[in-house]
């Protein structure tokens, strides 16, 4: 797959997951250059292994993660625990990674279609810098929707 095709898959998968599971219409713009996310303080990550290997992540503010959790669980934000918020953000990362993985699998020979995903990990903190030690190309998409912004990134390469 070409770089622009993977970036487009990340964009389309994220828009689909947010529309169907978070009930927020978001619009993505494929990013170029290094990823810098000032002031964002929650990141959910999913490891990917198989015919392709890498890491999928979503970076957002805590307030947006709470909105995601409330929408997915049908609850008021004030009634969510920190664990609810982290679980919801991790599940969104999991669904986006799974959707991209499924689309890539459609292009592979039958014996290469097996992929595995890790359990989501969520990092919380102020002005964190995320560094992934891999030589895999990075595909980043910046999103806006419902007055918020966030970024989805995948570092992904053939095994």
Q: Measured in whole angstroms, how far is the alpha carbon of residue 24 from the centre of its chain?
A: 15
Longest dimension (CA), the chain: 48
CA distance 38 to 33: 15
Mean pLDDT to the nearest integer, 75-83: 95
- Looking at the 3D structure of the chain, how many domains does it have? 1
pLDDT of amino acid 133? 61
CATH number of domain containing 23: 3.40.1550.10
Domain that residue 106 falls in: 3-158
pLDDT of amino acid 109? 77
Indicate whether 40 pLDDT > 80.
no
Indicate whether 131 pLDDT > 90.
no
pLDDT of amino acid 18? 96
Indicate whether 159 pLDDT > 90.
no
pTM, two decimal places: 0.90
């Amino acid at each position: 797959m070409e770089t622009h095709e993977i970036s487009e898959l990340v964009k389309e998968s994220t828009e689909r997951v947010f529309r169907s599971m978070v009930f927020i219409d978001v619009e993505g713009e494929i990013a170029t250059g290094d990823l810098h996310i000032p002031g964002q303080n929650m990141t959910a990550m999913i490891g990917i292994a198989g015919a392709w290997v890498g890491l999928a992540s979503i970076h957002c503010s805590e307030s947006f993660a709470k909105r995601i959790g409330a929408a997915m669980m049908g609850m008021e934000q004030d009634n969510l625990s920190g664990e609810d918020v982290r679980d919801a953000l991790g599940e969104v990362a999991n669904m986006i990674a799974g959707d991209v993985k499924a689309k890539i699998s459609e292009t592979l020979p039958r014996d290469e279609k097996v992929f595995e995903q890790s359990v989501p990990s969520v990092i919380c903190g102020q002005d964190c810098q995320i560094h992934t030690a891999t030589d895999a190309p990075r595909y980043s998409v910046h999103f806006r929707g419902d007055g918020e912004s966030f970024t989805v990134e995948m570092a992904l390469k053939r095994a």
